[in-house]
Amino acid sequence: MPHLLTRWDVALDVERFVLAALAAAHRPGLEPAVVSAVRLSDLPAPADTDRATTVALMRELLDEEGSDVAVAALAGHVMREVGRSISSL
């Protein structure tokens, strides 16, 4: 995971989205410096959209306030977002 996050500055939006989701889902096993590399403010997330909900779940998990339910919800949101991104290519 730390190696993947080194690409943050050159990654496409969908790549950043997936990297953030992976970091959020694996938060307990990551060093604080790795978690701080995830800049959620770099992810466009218009209010009242699925993406905004997903980014809020990522923030919750990265702040160590998440639960297994939040991880499961995050997985569903990420899969939908990635599917939309791929279909728009």
Would the pLDDT of 6 be above 70? Answer: yes
Q: What is the pLDDT of residues 32-52, one digit of tens each?
A: 777 777 888 888 888 888 888
pTM of this structure: 0.65
The alpha carbon of 89 is separated from its chain's Cα centroid by a whole number of angstroms, namely: 20
How big, in percent rounded to 5, are the helix, strand and coil portions of the chain?
A: 70, 0, 30
Would the pLDDT of 56 be above 70? Answer: yes
Residues 38, 30: contact at Cβ < 8 Å? Answer: no
Residue 86 neighbours by CB under 8 Å, 6+ apart: 14
What is d(CA 9, CA 65) in angstroms, rounded to the nearest whole number? 26
pLDDT value of position 88:
75
